Amino acid sequence: MDLAKTRNIGISAHIDSGKTTLTERILFYTGMIHKIEEVKGKSGVGATMDSMELERERGITIQSAATHVSWGETEINIIDTPGHVDFTIEVERALSVLDGAILVLCSVSGVQSQSITVDRQMRRYNVPRIAFINKMDRSGADPFNVTNQLREKLGHNAVIVTYPIGAEDQFEGVVDLLTREACYFDGDNGETVRREPCPEELKDAVDEYRAKLVEAVADFDDELMEKFLEGDIDGVTAEQMRPIIRRATLDMAMTPVYCGSAYKNKGVQVLLDAVTSFLPNPTEIRNEAFDLDDNENKVVLESDNDKPLCALAFKLEDGRYGQLTYLRVYQGKLTKGDTIYNASTNKKVKVGRLVRMHSDNMEDIEVGEAGDIVALFGVDCASGDTFIGSERRYSMRSMFVPDPVIHYAIEPKDKGGQGNFSKALNRFSKEDPTFRVRRDEESGETIIAGMGELHLDVYIERMRREYKVDTIVGAPQVAYRETVTKPIPFNYTHKKQTGGSGQYARVAGEMRPIPDDAEQQHYNFVDSISGGAIPREYIPSCDNGFKSAMDKGVLIGFPVTGIEMEISDGQFHPVDSSDMAFQLASRSAFRETMRKAGPVVLEPVMKVQAATPEEFQGTVQASLIRRRGNISGSDAQHGTTTIDALVPMSEMFGYSNELRSATQGKAEYSMEFHSYARVPSSIQEELIKKFQEEGK
């Protein structure tokens, strides 16, 4: 495989910009499908990749995460791009798999809210892109206005590369400004590209826009700038401009703009030429991994078949033959029959069936090389796992996974759905490490936990759609914690005599809070026993007793955090002391002392980022302050204000509805866990009262 002729791209768009229709045409013109299907309602056949848009619209799994096409001599992997920033880990992985992207915009609606979202995500992960202004056949089509919006709203150095021949119902094709050729798309489905000289009536406009293109390109090359300043625009050739446009696009210093109508089969082949000309191949992107054998220090991966294997499982799919695992091979190669290792679990895996995906069909292959996207069958792994050769242990992501901050009690409505209910929970927790499942020992309830309301709601919806399980969901619960605020000495004796040998243990020392400026430590044990007051074999028993007591605090029954326990004295009995006696003594000492050590409730505080049109800035800030938010900064760019705030998780329930109605649906927000902080005393009293009323 020639890596210089490989592209890994995503196609992103606001809903209803024509992404699905464009993908369908790409599949048709590259020979992957032989009949074009249109996007239809539920009763229709539907487009081949229709489910990709469904994911963006409804947040459910898609039929295929990647498809593979060939255009000329170039192999193109088209990868599903994620819809939601709320799924932090999933977004990061999917975007890390992209080398470049096509940003699709509607010629009438222009830059819309989801366009802003996907652009922001791509910018965060440094994904170079070209823009395609679609729906040129629609009434009100104005590619020049949309190009201005790209500049003003998104801050792109957007440069028109194809000029439209007509618009609306008069849209006939495009003029390639690089060559001045008019491109018409003949045949039943626009499959034949006819190139002719530029129409006479468009020459002045084409000359004007070609001069703008040359000027923009000349900014990146001294030789061209000289020609431009001398007025020798005609002397600048397409061959001279292409490598410079490519370099500027890869540096994200320029966004080439193309236009067309996917529905009317016009402009798509020229766009595919642009993908091969201006988007990066795998060797032109810097990919990094974390070296697990060297304190997770970053290492740069090379797209080289001879280097040790490093591949990322970026998407899982439940297929007809079991789990289908999509892999991006970053370094080394993967051959059928190889034994590879899962860096997350250290388990050996034998590569059985290796396939390349073509929409929802698959082609068996013998080898996947560096820069390739392939899929494996029957491999037990989770989304985000890294596969390596037997040499150095690399991971494509840091092993830190944030703790969940919200949980629901959940059960299937119909007891007959218990099997599918368990299957769904098992699958989702493999897909997403921030989605956790546990069983509450006291109530027997199944508890799901995640990063926010939307996070869990989407999984509940997926359970209904994909596994046909309706659920009963309890009210959302915030994952509070408890801690202490002052050091208190303890001295506790556990004594029990029931005939025969009894139980005896005494422990003494100090309980104290771990300082705020220390690294976020959950628990620390200090052994200061001297003179054999407690025999060495019982010291771990004390440690285990303290740790087990931290599962449930004394105020509202939530886990305890941030505590240091020092044991400095004690007493034992040669007959009645035991491991269990010291565990019980330590456990009771912990609970008794915690009540005296200024116990407080901690709540998860979220880092919230709200992006809103400037006219709603005051409204959005007020809404966050009303929810006990602390505004930490704001940044206005291209008509959009981004507000950063720290807001308690408990106050964020229902915020998406409030934000939508307050901003006419134009604002959006994302949030992630930031830290734990003390709740105000009035709220702590309410929580304690509620806990006591529930009689837990």
pLDDT at 50 (0 to 100): 43
Residue 100: predicted pLDDT: 93
For residue range 558-575, list pLDDT tens digits in order.
889 989 999 999 989 888
Q: Hey, how many other C-beta atoms are within 10 angstroms of the C-beta on 46?
A: 17
Closest by alpha carbon to 326, among 284, 385, 370? Answer: 385
- Segments of the chain scoring below 50 in pLDDT: 40-64, 399, 696
Give burial (CB, 10 Å; 0-12/13-18/19+) of 215.
middle
Distance CA 219, CA 227 (A): 12
Comparing CA positions, the residue from 165, 102, 101 lying closest to residue 136 is 165
DSSP readout, 498-562? -SSS-EEEEEEEEEEEPPTTS---SEEEEE---TTSS-GGGHHHHHHHHHHHTTS-SSSSPPB-S
Query: 39, 149 in Cβ contact below 8 A?
Result: no
Identify the pLDDT of residue 499: 63
Instruction: Tell me 328's DSSP state.
Output: E
Among 304, 299, 298, smallest CA distance to 283 is for 304
Q: Is 293 in contact with 381 (CB distance < 8 Å)?
A: no
pLDDT given at position 56:
42
**In the predicted model, what is the mean pLDDT of the chain?**
84
Write out pLDDT tens, residues 496-550: 876 667 889 999 999 999 876 555 568 899 988 888 888 888 999 999 999 999 9
> Could you tell me which residues are beta bridge partners of residue 411?
472
pTM over 0.85: no
Structure confidence at residue 58 (pLDDT): 44
Q: In sequence order, which residues have a C-beta less than 8 Å from that of residue 237 and are 6 or more positions away?
A: none
